[in-house]
Amino acid sequence: MNLQAAASRKTRLTGGHRLCPGCGLGAIVKQVLATIDDPVVVVNATGCLEICTSAYPQTAWETPWIHSLFENTAAVASGIDAARKALVRKKKLSGKAKNLKIVAFAGDGGTYDIGLQALSGALERGHDFTFICLDNEGYMNTGYQRSSASPLGAATSTSPAGKILAGKQTARKDILGIVAAHRIPYAAQSTAAHHLDLIAKAKKAIETPGPAFLNIFSPCPTNWKAPTALGMEICKKAVETNFWPLAEITNGKWKLNFKPQSRKPIEEFLAGQKRFRHLSKPENLKLKQQLQKEVDQKWQELLQLTEIS
């Protein structure tokens, strides 16, 4: 499927929602759902996407949709999968309904942290659904508290930059590696700005039997404290600096989808985001260097995985 074909599809998420200007969530959801030909049920964890698209008595969803809690999104998707299989066995579903797709959306808080236990259980049991992490690197809906997806050095409301600490002091969690350890059929990483890459991976994930996982980098200008118009550019810088590699894992085989000819320094990703402005101070230079070292190390590990596969 190409971008023009996806854009011509009837949207399953209408306009008029309350997502912030420059937010990547709406663009991601529309692109993902545009790849699906069959009926689809959406499971949506508590968070920005849920709040901004379902303010009672209105909804922006043009498909069956269920709101889950932070912690049980994958469990709800598992239940829908079990019900679908039971109805098929009892011959109560026919035609395209038998091919019902289940897509779960959760933020990084509902994926890396609060929802990890349910996600791990669902992946281990082999339920047939696609779980999509909308990763904007923090608990944005409640005021940008740190999550384990927040980068080293990022200033958040619970890891502020000041005289004692210079933002978050620990590295972000390797969620793609954690998911890969479950040996599921398909897992991948993309961004809201890399449209062809995102559409191809979404289609592959949704059409793969069994559990699939997508981790999608999504701009949040409000809490990144970045200009609204720069969200997609920041996504591109994340890839060009190797902060956010475009990669996928199919049946245990790792593949790198993009390799910059010349890796750009991490400063180019940090620029324009006030959550990182304290890292430009001389006293915080070591922390910025540590972040660069972390990015370079993870990139080398990824190269080794793709070489082995």
pLDDT digits (tens, 9 = 90+) for 91-146: 999 888 999 999 999 999 999 999 999 999 999 999 999 999 999 999 999 999 99
User: What single letter denotes the amino acid at residue 153?
Assistant: G
Beta-carbon contacts of residue 171 (< 8 Å; ≥ 6 apart): 151, 152, 294
d(C-alpha 220, C-alpha 144), whole Å: 10
pLDDT, residue 24, reads 97
Tokens of 164: 């004692």
Helices and strands (H, E) in the chain, number of each type:
11, 8
* Range 63-91 average pLDDT: 97
Where residue 295 falls among pLDDT bands split at 50, 70, 90? very high
Lowest mean pLDDT among 3-17, 143-157, 260-274: 3-17
Strands 130-135 and 101-107: parallel
What's the whole-number average pLDDT of the chain?
95
Do the Cβ atoms of 212 and 185 come closer than 8 Å?
yes
User: What single letter denotes the amino acid at residue 265?
Assistant: P
* Strand order across the 247-250 sheet: 65-68, 40-45, 101-107, 130-135, 212-217, 186-191, 247-250, 253-256
3-state secondary structure of 114: coil
pLDDT above 80: residue 6: no
pLDDT, residue 165, reads 92
pLDDT, residue 3, reads 66
Q: Which residue has the tokens 């915080």?
A: 284
Task: Specify the fold of 3-308.
Answer: Rossmann fold (3.40.50)
Q: Domain residue spans in the chain?
A: 3-308
pLDDT above 80: residue 308: no
Residue-wise pLDDT tens digits, 209-225: 999 999 999 999 999 99
Residue-wise pLDDT tens digits, 7-56: 677 789 998 899 999 999 999 999 999 999 999 999 999 999 999 999 99
The beta strand positions in the chain, using DSSP E, are: 40-45, 65-68, 101-107, 130-135, 186-191, 212-217, 247-250, 253-256
d(C-alpha 36, C-alpha 31), whole Å: 10
d(C-alpha 149, C-alpha 166), whole Å: 17
Where residue 256 falls among pLDDT bands split at 50, 70, 90? very high
* Range 168-182 average pLDDT: 97
